[in-house]
Structure 1
């Protein structure tokens, strides 16, 4: 029996009409059929679980699209309660749906409460996409997008975007103009802003790792920079006339943009290397910051796939920083990326488990760092947000696709 089959047996919540014995018998029947087809009984029993199809429940592989057959379970089989309290957060009579597929790398989902649409980035295609809530229509929202990554909306409904190509943070005003909020710190160009969140005091907090310094997701350093030391890459190819490439000049830090326009360093690379996703707790007294893997041009060890949490003081100073979790589940490193809190303070985080089939998707944690549940997707998940008219639908930007599932809770703060 494979590890994933054992994991299925341990799941605490299933349709009472579908027993674990029935599931195991079904899997055994499938294995026997494969043996008859010529694979061989020894191979069927001893070979490791295949990388694909990327689902650990259904056979044949589940179709997540709107055209797919409905699940026959009261609880979606790929929504797993690790702790019984997750039953109060997951919506029982709903299923995970793939809303769209066909992008190169989906990132930065953000919900517009005014427009009732979901915006997200397709980074390598240099565009932003929009899914409309009224009829499910998907269209290109903005192209070019300067290879935007993270997006969000502030308390005034204005879109915020982190741009890799221009190494800046931009706000799109309600009158149609655009404002550059930050492109440097103390006179040095930013690396590649990644994710951003708004604070009720009018400030914006964002992360600045180096992941946009790649051909695929932005532009490499100018010749001699850490990502292009030999100068063999030409960052001007494919860019508009007059484009000026820059060299990486700063460590990987987190910053706060004051309402006055001043940019302050709030989390240093020493505290959280390669910061990626970030979010506030519902009361804005805690800040969660994801530390992902070593980025291009890093001279140090880089991030290790952890999440850190800090107390936020009245003066916007952070203190008591500590590791929230290393995101290792059943011995599998479920690399965190995008992160959001619900109104109860639970932490929902995208999971990139690589080829560990069944562990990519979303992980859900209590404010104390206890794993509550998991949502399994057939693709690596990069980022998430809560949205929908009631803000009770979780949208998941996962590799080439956009997924969504209703929950029994609401996201905290604007998306």
Structure 2
């Protein structure tokens, strides 16, 4: 069975008899999986990253999978800002940048207090335009061996809407990876993919966009499950349910952190995002594949405020 139900509440999210479909395979390699899916509503297609081969691919119903961009500097997580511009995390160039419609690229963040970032991993954009991203520890071969680390922290950062300042949001995670907001943007969820931690933390957001560190709380602990997979990609639907890759596949949690069930994925699932006109399709990447499954509750559109 492709779905493992743990709580009856899963029935309101995953239709009876649901199964996922593979759209393509053969991506990734020894140093990285397929990653960073993002739906481009205006064009009706999906973009996703191939970290190992430093490529970005496009999937559309008409053309299937085609190459969208080469030499992405090991691009990983990506999303859209309020203007629909692509915002991408890069391991090799150790930065977060923004791509304009004409192909012009602007670096959004590459340093903190003058020191080069480690390897930006995943990114989300708040409705006010501020950009939040994770920066786990450097790791060869994700980052070049001849580029020694300059920061002694693994942080979660916020870039102000004007792009004029970068702030450290939290540094209390060992390997910060996936992140997402609750539907009302009052909570920031961040997961830790360190194999000894495998957890999701929740933080209340203050009016200035920073987190209330005193509000930090454990949302989900996955350490009791020894199946392949760690917390990585993470998204939220419009009712506040949280979807996170983890042991066995994609965990579905309600807003209290209760584990409702798992979309079983052989090997591992790496990242996910919502798509299609109704935002009810969950597109997800595996170690070497791109896949999708239709669900009942729509996800939060990207960018926020997109038609739903």
- With the length of structure 1 as denominator, give the TM-score of the two structures: 0.68
The Cα shift of 1:374 comes to 0.8
- Quote the offset at 1:136 in angstroms: 5.0
Q: Which runs of 5+ in 2 are unaligned?
A: 304-308
Change in 2 beyond 3 A, CA 1:322/1:333: farther
Match of 1:123 in 2: 51
Length, aligned pairs only: 296
Return the offset for 1:331.
6.1
Matches within 5 A, 1:244-255: 247-255=149-157
Q: 1: distance between equivalents of 2:54 and 2:210?
A: 35
**Is structure 2 residue 3 aligned with structure 1 residue 79?**
yes
* 1:50 corresponding residue in structure 2: none
**1:311 maps to which residue?**
204
SS at match of 1:119: strand
1:341 counterpart = 2:230: no
Structure 2 counterpart of 1:99? 23
Q: Residues 290 and 330 (structure 1 numbering): CA distance in 2 closer, same or farther, change over 3 Å? A: closer
Question: Once the two structures are superposed, what CA deviation does each residue of 1:299-352 show, in whole Å capped at 9, x if it has no partner?
Answer: xxxx6111100001112121201111111455658521110000000000012x
Alpha-carbon spacing, 1:281–1:120, altered in 2? closer, same or farther (3 Å):
same
Partner of 1:187: 114
Aligned-residue CA RMSD (Å): 1.7
* Residue 265 (structure 1) aligns with: 168
Cα distance between partner residues in 2 of 1:151 and 1:78: 27
2:145 pairs with 1:220: yes
Q: Which has the higher strand share?
A: 2
Distance 1:332 1:125, change over 3 A: closer
Instruction: Determine which structure has more spread, i.e. the larger CA radius of gyration.
Output: 1
The unaligned stretches of length 5 or more in structure 1 are 1-76, 226-246, 295-302, 354-358
2:268/2:287 contact within 8 Å kept: yes
Q: Which has the higher contact order (CA 8 A, sep 6+)?
A: 2
Query: 1:335 is paired with a residue of what secondary structure?
Result: coil
Where in structure 2 are the equivalents of 1:192-211 lying within 5 Å?
192-211=119-138
Cα pair 2:279 2:301 within 8 Å, conserved: no
2:176 matches 1:275: yes
- Deviation string, structure 1 residues 25-44 (Cα, Å, up to 9, x no partner): xxxxxxxxxxxxxxxxxxxx
Residues 121 and 330 of structure 1: is their aligned pair in 2 closer, same or farther, counting only changes over 3 Å? closer
CA distance in structure 2 between the aligned counterparts of 1:250 and 1:172, rounded to whole angstroms: 29
* Aligned 8 A contact 1:99 1:136 in 2: no
Partners of 1:414 and 1:155 in 2: CA distance: 9
Match among 365, 385, 388 for residue 273 of structure 2:
385
SS in 2 for 1:382: strand
Correspondence for 1:365: 253
Q: TM-score, normalised by structure 2?
A: 0.91
- What residue in structure 1 maps to residue 216 of structure 2? 321
Residue in 1 aligned with 2:191?
290
Map residues 25-40 of structure 1 onto 2, 5 A cutoff. Answer: none
1 or 2, which has the higher helix percentage? 1
Structure 2 partner of 1:29: none
Does residue 160 (structure 1) correspond to residue 160 (structure 2)? The answer is no
